[in-house]
Structure 1
Amino acid sequence: MTTQHLLDDRRRLPLRTMANKVPEATACFWIIKVLTTGMGETASDLLARLLGPVPAVALGGLALGASLAVQFTVRRHIAWVYWTAVVMVSVFGTMAADVLHVGLGVPYAVSTPVFLATLAAVFGCWYASERTPSIHGINTRRREAFYWAAVLATFALGTAAGDLTATAGLGFLGSAALFAVAICVPALAHRWAGLNAVTAFWSAYVITRPLGASLADWMAVGHSRGGLALGLEPVTLAWTAAILGFVAYLATAQRASRRGVAAA
């Protein structure tokens, strides 16, 4: 076989420029995901109160851009880099939904279907380009761009949906209970009704947002609104500490796994 034949064969192979950039959807993944949603909710409200809405949104946008730039630069999944980006998407996604409602006066009943349509458009473009929005093949820049666009849309949609149910009479605790039940539906449908694994994953991913945000809001808001009145600062710090603990565990496990592979 000549060198030219080898080059021709390489051109026919699918381009895989990176290892998969998204972690496996383990129990730890879902726990951290819910924690980031709650932390993003209270951190967004806290920043808006301390800095004002406009500076808070600007700061959140810059931090999101920086975290995603680092995420796109690395060529494999790194726990700290990935989850930092998720946290910043959570904070900024909350701000995006809140700006529409508080700043522009758009009702949650309007913004929720708008964000739903946005998410559907992202998935439509992703599927048309890559034939599947699976998280198991995020190994090119284009797929990674689709993935993070979908993540951002899910956070905005989840924020609007959670606030819609909370203000519609359920309250934060009622909303948390509603979405705690709802998040079980995709798993059960996948297990017993043959729901596609990709659809089940993204359905649960959307629901984690209002679930975590409703829990965090319930812990932070005053008794007059049916909450525990713990305050934004303590809740934000507590959920941040929990995120750091779980991500540190994942990062340690990731390093141990790489050492084991290298030694094999």
Structure 2
Amino acid sequence: MQAPARQLLNKVPEVTVWFWIIKILCTTVGESFADWINMNLGVGLTNTALIFTVALAAVLVWQLSTERYVPFVYWLTVVVVSVTGTLYTDILTDSQGVPLALSSSVFAGALAVVFGVWYVRERTLSVHSITTLPRELFYWLAVLVTFALGTATGDWTLELTGWTPGVSVLLPLGLIIAIILGWRLGANAVLSFWLAYILTRPLGANLGDWLGSPSGDGGLGFGTAVTSVIFLVAILATVVYLTLSRSDVIEAQDLTGTPRALSSARERGMLAYYAVVAVAAAALLVWAHHQPHAAATGEEDTSASVTTHITPQEATSPFPPAEIAKFRTITADTLAKVNSDDQQAANSRVTDLETAWDDDQSALEPKSEKAWSFLDGEIDQVLEALRAPHPDKATEVNALNTLLTSLG
């Protein structure tokens, strides 16, 4: 007969409002901090993922070695898992070119396997029963996959809809509210928890993009560094409060992990409710996908209409050759850095282009508003490509080459 696993005090916090607040803070950091290290520090996507994989192994060993829930250790692990899960999805999408629809499907399948094996072995998926090492290992594996899945589905939603970061926050927020309502009406508590847990990932990531993206891209323009600092400080303050108050410690445990009895008929009814919510969300995404993406369409239409009337000679002749040469040099430098996979240097150099162009606007625009608007639109395309949350090298190169051609 197999010996029972050693029982521990419950290793996760009570699911209170504080749990969800700090979880969203952690997911936002996962998005903004990963982007900051990868792009702004120029570490590179693969190297950043390797660094955080090592960090994840270290903090997991720390977390697993504790005898009970310790707020600082637990939430540090969540932060590192958040960053690492984000990076794994980004590698598949940005480095390997895996479509987001495929990666979303793969991660969803992986999560189903994790839950299936976990349930077959332990007969529960409840977070109130993380009292043995095997259950804790299953728990953290599920958490890692939910972060990767949430990243992929969140980015896929943006790709399908063309929504700005601010607007994109509303979908996962609305779905979480619908899940809370379902749970209050009698839906299975474990199912409701994990659905909401997955959805906090795109919610937090979209919040991070909204705060960190430039105002011209629909964000608040704080930048990834400032956004990361704000949320890390908020996480630290919350962890200090929870450590002192112990308001999220599960004192009494049900070691069997058996959930409280609910009406099976009501649970089946709420499953139907969740299915309706899922269908409605899918219908919304399909509808949004088929709508004109205002910003992108407007830019394409403007560029297309102007291109038929302006040649590179017409675009540059109204302006001093020395100024055009300056813009061309900066653009060529940026292209060289993109081709050498130095994203940080490319972002820095393209900022020089933006600054030089803006500084010269008052002198250049009066000479030819038509030519200035044409070049301004192409520079905007370059800035958008390089400052995308997940830059695509081919898109960057295409935008830079188009601008170089227009500059003569």
TM-score (norm: length of structure 2): 0.58
Unpaired runs of 5+ residues, structure 1, are 1-10, 259-264
Give runs of aligned pairs for residues 22-37 of structure 1, distance below 5 A. 22-37=12-27
Calculate the aligned-residue CA RMSD, in Å: 1.9
Query: Could you tell me the percent identity over the aligned residues?
Result: 45
From 178, 183, 191, the counterpart of 1:190: 183
Q: Among 203, 219, 223, which residue is 1:211 paired with?
A: 203
1:253 is matched with 245
The residue aligned with 2:172 is 179
Q: Does 1:243 align with 2:207?
A: no
The farther-off stretch of 44-53 and 69-78 is 44-53
Structure 2 counterpart of 1:43: 33
- Match runs of 1:18-97 below 5 Å: 18-49=8-39, 50=41, 51-97=43-89
Deviation at 1:23, TM superposition (A): 0.3
Residue 109 (structure 1) aligned with residue 104 (structure 2): no
Shift of 1:235: 0.4
Distance 2:165 2:100 in 1: 15
Give, in whole Å, the separation in 2 of the partners of 1:15 and 1:66: 23
Q: Point out which structure has higher relative CO (alpha carbons under 8 A, 6+ apart).
A: 1
Does the 8 Å contact 1:35/1:239 carry over to 2? yes
Aligned counterpart, 1:137 = 129
- 2:164 match: secondary structure: helix
CA contact (8 A) 1:219 1:235 kept: yes
User: Alpha-carbon deviations, 1:81-125, whole Å to 9, x = none?
Assistant: 000000000000000110000010011111111111111110000
Give, as a single letter, the amino acid of the residue that structure 1 aligns with 2:178: V
| Distance in structure 2 (CA, Å) of the matches to 1:20 and 1:14 | 16
Change (3 A) 1:209 1:13: same
Distance (Å, rounded) in 2 between the aligned partners of 1:74 and 1:14: 19
Aligned to 1:150: 142
Letter in 1 for 2:157: T
Q: Tell me the CA shift for residue 163 of structure 1.
A: 0.8
Q: Is the 8 A contact 2:71 2:243 kept in 1?
A: yes
Which shows bigger deviation, 11-20 or 117-126? 11-20
SS at match of 1:227: coil
Q: Is the 8 A contact 1:165 1:171 kept in 2?
A: no
How far 1:171 sits from its partner (Å)? 2.5
**Residue 17 (str. 1) matches residue 7 (str. 2):** yes
Of the structure 1 ranges 148-157 and 107-116, higher mean CA displacement relative to structure 2 is found in: 107-116
Partner of 2:351: none
SS in 1 for 2:98: coil
Is 1:127 the counterpart of 2:119? The answer is: yes
Query: CA-to-partner distance for each residue in 1:204-226, whole Å, 9 max, x for gaps?
Result: 00000000110111110112321
Could you tell me the TM-score, scaled by structure 1's length? 0.89
Q: Deviation at 1:230?
A: 1.1
Q: Distance in 1 between matches of 2:119 and 2:163?
A: 36
Q: Which has the higher helix share?
A: 1
- Greater shift in the superposed pair: 160-169 or 85-94: 160-169
How far apart are 1:166 and its partner, in Å? 1.6
CA contact (8 A) 2:56 2:80 kept: yes
SS of the aligned residue for 1:170 comes to coil
Measure, in 2, the Cα distance between the counterparts of 1:120 and 1:174.
29
Which structure has the greater CA radius of gyration?
2
List per-residue Cα deviations over 1:8-37 (Å, max 9, x = no partner).
xxx999545210001000001100000000
The question of whether the paired residues in 2 share the 8 Å contact of 1:60 and 1:88 is answered with: yes
Aligned in 2, Cα 1:104/1:12: closer, same or farther, shift over 3 Å?
A: closer
